Structure 1
């Protein structure tokens, strides 16, 4: 559950940053400043996505090594992880 908490924290931070970008546009702030902040939002979202993929990879390794989770979700296949990773590229 630690990974979920980390991802949610990153997403909440990105949500706040995005609200700031919207406010900057509404206030007519300089485009360079807006783009800089928008890039920060994009990086925050990328980091959240990578955290999700990394968590899935960790889960797969744990299952491969004999550890099992609570069984509430089916294990992620290698192909699914690859597709998720490439979606972030």
Structure 2
């Protein structure tokens, strides 16, 4: 299963193995559950510090997903595009990294 993005007439696809996709989806499902848990904590007026600790855990989990995606992107898509002579991928990668690092 490949993800396809249509951009300005060209089709780009991700190159994730089924194992990596399963890992990412499982992580995102856990994060989704954590977010629902935080929502429930807020609705139940749980102590703010406890909620903030859960928010921190969610941010760390999302960062881990981002790192895995970035690593895969650099090892496949970025290398492939550079080999094809498409050096614009470097600027795209830098912009994406700046968004992730914020």
- TM-score normalised to structure 2 length: 0.67
Distance 1:84 1:3, change over 3 A: farther
Alignment RMSD, CA only? Answer: 2.2
- Unaligned runs of 5+ residues in structure 2 are 1-16
TM-score with structure 1 setting the length = 0.75
Report the structure, 1 or 2, having the larger helix content: 1
Query: For 1:80 and 1:7, how far apart are their aligned partners in 2?
Result: 22
In structure 1, stretches of 5+ residues that fail to align are 67-75
1:23 is aligned to: 40
Q: Distance in 2 between matches of 1:4 and 1:85?
A: 21
How far did residue 23 of structure 1 move? 0.6
More strand by share: 2
